[in-house]
Structure 1
Amino acid sequence: MKKITLLCTLLTQLVVSQNYTEYATGSSTDVDTNHEFGICMMGGASENDNAMIWFLNKANGGDVVVLRASGSDGYNDYFYTDLGVAINSVTTFVINNEAGAIDPYVLDKVANAEAIWFAGGDQFDYVSFFKDNAMEDTLNSFINTKQGVIGGTSAGMAILGSGYFSAENGTVTNAQALSDPYHNRMTLGYNDFLEIPFLEHVITDTHYDDPDRRGRHAAFLARYATDNNTYALGIACNEYTAVCIDNFGRAYVYGDYPNYPEYAYFLNSFCTFEDEQDFLPENCVPGQPLTWNINGEALQVVKIPGTPNGDYYTYVSGFGFGNPYETFWENWSVNTGSFSTTSTTNPYCDLLGVSEYQRGTISVRPNPFQDVISIESQLVNFDVKLYDSFGKQVAKFQNQAQIDTSNLASGLYFMSVSSEGLQETFKLIKN
């Protein structure tokens, strides 16, 4: 009997070891901290220390879980000791299959973490192991209910948008994506995996030092717009650059500019168009070269330099991007499979700007606001809906020119004003 028991124990350990490997550093006792929501995305080379400090500070001394499908414990000492941020523990799971991802012990560690980091590798491993199962549910609960900080580099960044390139059939080149946006390597997922605030309509990409990435990223957005009949957005990073988004939607860019050309890119497909249909690609069909030209302005791209202290930022939401300072603007387009870029000036495409904004017959002020928002309009009948930064409706009014917001916490809000087919949305900050 003892031999049988010992054999069962060894077999159980073998199965667990085949499904995942765990590397633990720090305390084995779980702690609860006053953590904060955030998103940190790295371009794929060595991590930017200041961005990683930003990430760890959001955990507020809590527990960090690193999820990866290859490699070992390279993040453990880096997070736990090298950056000088006090945290309770770092646990790395190298997941080998779906069974490892949905192991109850792994899920419990993920659920109880304050910070989750996705390493690089092959993003299809993450899609295969984590999607449509208990791990997906646990991750989305961590993001939207617990509101912990999440991030990733390279493949780990690639899976964070509501749209994503899955790499199911391997990577895809510029030439393949532009010559046929439905090439068998153009495997995209839409709104069916991670649900991360501020990344609605967004497809991310990394390793942007390689110019070959930009044309294929444009093709990703063309597919998203075509397949979903809606606008598409993109966020991308050069290899040593990071984008860190806080709970107000402020996207800070970290790097070593001006010593090195380290930038983040924010791609917008609808900033100069009144009608959502106006910005759809002219030709995005299987077997034919992509054309997304629209007078050379299919994509309006703001290139923001990353500095050691994250001095420059833009506001991010599922509606688009704000107009930051110290930036470079470009127009991107594709004509019969040929990708081109041109420098341009700020098109002021932030329809949801954080300064006082007036458009058409409606104005909303002040912005930022404190306890009262005033709506000025020639409309007699109009509906007002107010949403928080996570897209939850927090208030609804009708025909009210003065909106009492004294019960709302400080932060980022979106106000939708609609009447008889007219609808305008405003991004507002409460101090």
Structure 2
Amino acid sequence: MKNIATLFLFLLFQVSTSQNYTEYHTGSTTDVNTNHEFGICMMGGASENDNAMIWFLNRTNGGDVVVLRASGSNGYNNYMYSELGVTINSVTTFVIHNTSGAIDPYVLDKVAKAEAIWFAGGDQFDYVTYFKDNAMEDTLNNFINNKQGVIGGTSAGMAILGSSYFSAENGTVTNAQALSNPYHNRMTLGYDDFLTIPYLQGVITDTHYDDPDRRARHATFLARYATDNNSSAFGIACNEYTSVCIDDNGMARVYGEYPTYPEYAFFLQSNCTNDFLPETCVSNEPLTWNRAGEAIKVAKIPGTETGENYIDIGGWNLGAGQEWENWYVNSGTFSTDPTINPQCDLLGINEANTFEITVSPNPFSDEIVIHADEEENLKYNLYNALGKQFEIDIKNKRISTSKLSSGVYFLAVSKGHKKQTLKLIKQ
């Protein structure tokens, strides 16, 4: 019996080290495949929100979790494995010491076989340095977009999840530095060159939003993105004890302990007008992004224990529990004002006069099939979540989508004054 007990403890918790990484393992050493679900869970950087973490673990359906970090040790292992009441197969933490550790075949295999991946806090530039432009980046994107596992992170781990991101290559940046010079040497941004996660296209995340030195710099991140890419910009941010969990339909639920504590998440979007670009966003000059005091539309959503407050980030306006604000910058001075739901129509399409049309399957992979009650003289336009239009070829009521990347799309169908817009998800 003593030998059996010793073996059980060995299987329950193991530590192994190499020059390039340290591994901490809790639970079974036998890999399992489960009917897991896609999802994104992001936390603001202080202690984890238990209800949001339970949401994250439940989507593994009893699978394996891999925690990636560049500092620290095994703090997540017991917390995830035994303290939240969710049955999972195992938790493996890899503390990655360098790029060689990140691309070690053993580490990559564990990441590929997991049902959930969690990025711990720390320094996001470590993650960018160790994981970007190598086999780990490829493995992570395959896990997200082909295996469709659940992914999440806190603090620095949340900061890298947007398709664009603040890398902190030259250290953090303050409000004052960003506002006085949007191209300050600490304003190091990456655009669409690292992780590709559904619903986070064009999104820059930020954390620790309780810190007053965060919101104006985040607005400047969006100003830079809009200017550099000539495209609408989006942001998601969390107060330190707040979490955002996004399911496979794009519903972003906010967890926290409001009203006991002022715990909010923020969803930012450049104003939904044709003239959305900053008036002045150039090197060595203060930022001006005013647009009549409506440069950025912000949904401020309190996080609750049940996560009943949410926003649909497929359209960036529908939801529950939102307070809306206008954010804008005049000659380096950041301001906010209360406002109402802007009811932004991402595609600028009036849907008051619609007709019956559906597509299948949805989510889709290589093609979609159109089903319409009026089939003649229909006009089709396909857009991504940022409003970029794609050419489409329709043959026999089928649209080939094999060349599209994973993410959210909108199919706008019109005939005369009748119009309909469908939200689609590419797996």
TM-score (norm 2): 0.84
**1:64-97 residue CA offsets vs partner (Å, 9 max, x unmatched):** 0000000000000000000010000000000010
Q: 3-state DSSP class of the match of 1:332? A: strand
Of 270, 286, 290, which aligns to 2:287? 290
Q: Which amino acid aligns with 2:210?
A: D
Counterpart contact for 1:16–1:100, Cα < 8 Å: no
The verdict on how the C-alpha distance between 1:256 and 1:288 changes in structure 2, with shifts beyond 3 A counting, is same
**1:290-314 residue CA offsets vs partner (Å, 9 max, x unmatched):** 0000000000000011110100111
The verdict on how the C-alpha distance between 1:86 and 1:381 changes in structure 2, with shifts beyond 3 A counting, is closer
Aligned length: 390
Of 309, 313, 316, which aligns to 2:310? 313
Q: 3-state DSSP class of the match of 2:18? A: helix
Q: Which residue of 2 aligns with 1:20?
A: 21
Q: Give me the whole-angstrom Cα distance separating, in 2, the residues matched to 1:311 and 1:69.
A: 34
Q: Which residue of 1 aligns with 2:3?
A: none
Q: How does 1:204-243 map to 2 (within 5 A)?
A: 204-243=205-244
The verdict on how the C-alpha distance between 1:241 and 1:365 changes in structure 2, with shifts beyond 3 A counting, is farther
Counterpart contact for 1:19–1:95, Cα < 8 Å: yes
User: Structure 2: which 5+ residue stretches go unaligned?
Assistant: 1-15, 363-368, 400-407
| Dislocated runs of 4+, deviation >6 Å | 366-373
Q: Give me the whole-angstrom Cα distance separating, in 1, the residues matched to 2:332 and 2:349.
A: 38
Deviation at residue 380 of structure 1 after TM alignment: 4.6
Q: Give me the whole-angstrom Cα distance separating, in 2, the residues matched to 1:398 and 1:295.
A: 46
Q: Which residue of 2 aligns with 1:63?
A: 64
Q: Give me the whole-angstrom Cα distance separating, in 2, the residues matched to 1:145 and 1:384.
A: 26
Residue 359 (structure 1) aligned with residue 354 (structure 2): no
Q: Which amino acid aligns with 1:301?
A: V
Q: How does 1:317-356 map to 2 (within 5 A)?
A: 317=314, 320-351=315-346
Counterpart contact for 1:362–1:376, Cα < 8 Å: no
Q: Which amino acid aligns with 1:323?
A: L
Q: Which amino acid aligns with 2:250?
A: G
Residue 299 (structure 1) aligned with residue 292 (structure 2): no
Counterpart contact for 2:17–2:23, Cα < 8 Å: no
The verdict on how the C-alpha distance between 1:361 and 1:374 changes in structure 2, with shifts beyond 3 A counting, is farther
Counterpart contact for 1:383–1:396, Cα < 8 Å: no
The verdict on how the C-alpha distance between 1:237 and 1:383 changes in structure 2, with shifts beyond 3 A counting, is same
User: Structure 1: which 5+ residue stretches go unaligned?
Assistant: 1-14, 404-411
Q: Give me the whole-angstrom Cα distance separating, in 2, the residues matched to 1:122 and 1:97.
A: 13
Q: How does 1:74-89 map to 2 (within 5 A)?
A: 74-89=75-90
Counterpart contact for 2:302–2:322, Cα < 8 Å: yes
Q: 3-state DSSP class of the match of 1:281? A: coil
Deviation at residue 386 of structure 1 after TM alignment: 9.2
Q: Give me the whole-angstrom Cα distance separating, in 2, the residues matched to 1:83 and 1:368.
A: 40
Q: Cα RMSD over matched residues?
A: 3.2
Q: 3-state DSSP class of the match of 1:135? A: helix
The verdict on how the C-alpha distance between 1:198 and 1:246 changes in structure 2, with shifts beyond 3 A counting, is same
**Share of identical aligned residues, percent?**
69
Q: Give me the whole-angstrom Cα distance separating, in 2, the residues matched to 1:44 and 1:396.
A: 45
TM-score (norm 1): 0.83
Q: Give me the whole-angstrom Cα distance separating, in 2, the residues matched to 1:85 and 1:141.
A: 26
